[in-house]
């Protein structure tokens, strides 16, 4: 496996009976990145993350991790032992992991005001999520894999958890891969993107590179874009046309050109993916 990678997937696929949940998925994730796995419902996000965590056997292909790589996985339903207290969960984490950072795990519980001695079954959904994060952080992973990590949290807790996770990445050099379908939450958070639709990888790469490759052209209504390039999305309203193109070419008035936002790019790619699949 190439140095500097946190993860490489090659031809990865998973079939449930006759249906492929994920097919021919190949990508590399550089170490130290905050990567977002974005996709529609049923796109195959959980399937992919579970295979990366080693909890699900691929039908095809493989996941490669560095020899010293340690993966922590926080599943979407964040399973905990209901009768265990958060402190019990940390004790269990310390027993089950070769490396364990009790200070970081306790800090996480304290930071989010989780009562350390109350059974997990009597904690709120958001507090239970924080216990799962504390256990994952305590295990000192080189790759932290989070499936819809923010779904149980209120807007303030979402912001705080994202900030704390980014601090962990900066402090420890770990890589983070998190799934979401809330594209608006990614801006300023993710620096790497994996986009899935209908079991296929539509796009992957550094966010800055992907944004640099795409432009939005707006001008008078026209069936064709004003410059050459792959049309990711075209829309026409009134007397005006807008094209999101893969390519960056100067354009003459009355056309204007501007960079695409991450949200525009993701939504355009997902709509195009669905059109192709239909």
Q: Which residues bind ligand ATP (CB under 6 A)?
A: 16, 21, 39, 41-47, 181
Q: How far is the CB of 166 from ligand ATP (least distance, A)?
A: 23
Residue 169 beta carbon to ligand ATP: minimum distance, rounded to whole angstroms: 23
Question: Nearer Cβ to ligand ATP, position 21 or 105?
Answer: 21
Q: Please answer whether residues 68 and 107 qualify as being in contact, where contact means their C-beta atoms are separated by less than 8 angstroms.
A: no
Min. distance of Cβ 43 from ligand ATP in angstroms? Answer: 4
Nearest to 8 by CA among 67, 74, 56, 73: 67
Please report the beta strands in the chain, taking only residues with DSSP state E, as ranges in sequence order: 5-16, 19-30, 34-39, 60-64, 71-74, 143-146, 175-180, 192-197, 200-206, 214-220, 230-237, 240-246, 256-259
Closer residue to ligand ATP, CB minimum distance, 19 or 68: 19
Residue with Cβ nearer ligand ATP (151 or 242): 151
Listed in sequence order, the residues at least 6 apart from 229 whose beta carbon sits closer than 8 Å to its beta carbon are 215, 245, 246, 247, 249
Q: How far is the CB of 278 from ligand ATP (least distance, A)?
A: 16
Distances in whole angstroms, Cα of residue 28 to Cα of each of 64, 107, 153, 157: 9, 32, 30, 31
Three-point CA angle 109, 182, 209, nearest 5°: 105
Residue placing its CB nearer to ligand ATP in the complex, 22 or 71: 22
Q: Which is nearer to ligand ATP, 22 or 89 (CB)?
A: 22
Smallest distance, ligand ATP to C-beta of residue 183, A: 13
Closer to ligand ATP at the Cβ: 11 or 42? 42
CA distance 99 to 140: 6
Smallest gap, in angstroms, from Cβ of residue 45 to ligand ATP?
3
């Amino acid at each position: 496996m190439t140095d500097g990678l946190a993860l490489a997937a090659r031809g990865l696929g998973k079939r449930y009976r006759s249906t492929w949940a994920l097919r021919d998925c190949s990508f590399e994730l550089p170490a130290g990145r905050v990567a977002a796995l974005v996709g529609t419902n049923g796109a195959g996000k959980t399937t992919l993350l579970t295979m990366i965590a080693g909890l699900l056997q691929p039908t095809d292909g493989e996941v490669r991790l560095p020899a010293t790589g340690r993966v922590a996985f926080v599943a979407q339903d964040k399973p905990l032992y209901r009768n265990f207290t958060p402190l019990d969960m940390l004790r269990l984490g310390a027993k089950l992991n070769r490396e364990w950072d009790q200070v970081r795990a306790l800090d996480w519980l304290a930071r989010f005001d989780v009562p350390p001695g109350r059974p997990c079954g009597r904690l709120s959904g958001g507090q239970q999520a924080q216990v799962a994060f504390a256990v994952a952080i305590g295990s000192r992973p080189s790759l932290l894999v989070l499936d819809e990590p923010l779904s149980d949290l209120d807007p303030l807790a979402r912001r705080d958890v994202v900030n704390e996770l980014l601090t962990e990445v900066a402090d420890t050099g770990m890589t983070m891969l998190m799934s979401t379908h809330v594209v608006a939450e990614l801006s300023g958070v993710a620096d790497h993107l994996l986009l899935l639709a209908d079991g296929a990888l539509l796009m992957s790469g550094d966010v800055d590179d992907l944004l640099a490759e795409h432009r939005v052209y707006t001008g008078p209504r026209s069936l064709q874009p004003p410059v050459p390039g792959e049309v990711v999305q075209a829309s026409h309203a009134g007397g005006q046309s807008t094209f999101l193109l893969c390519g960056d070419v100067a354009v003459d008035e009355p056309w204007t050109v501007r960079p695409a936002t991450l949200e525009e790019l993701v939504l355009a790619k997902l709509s195009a993916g669905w059109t192709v699949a239909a």
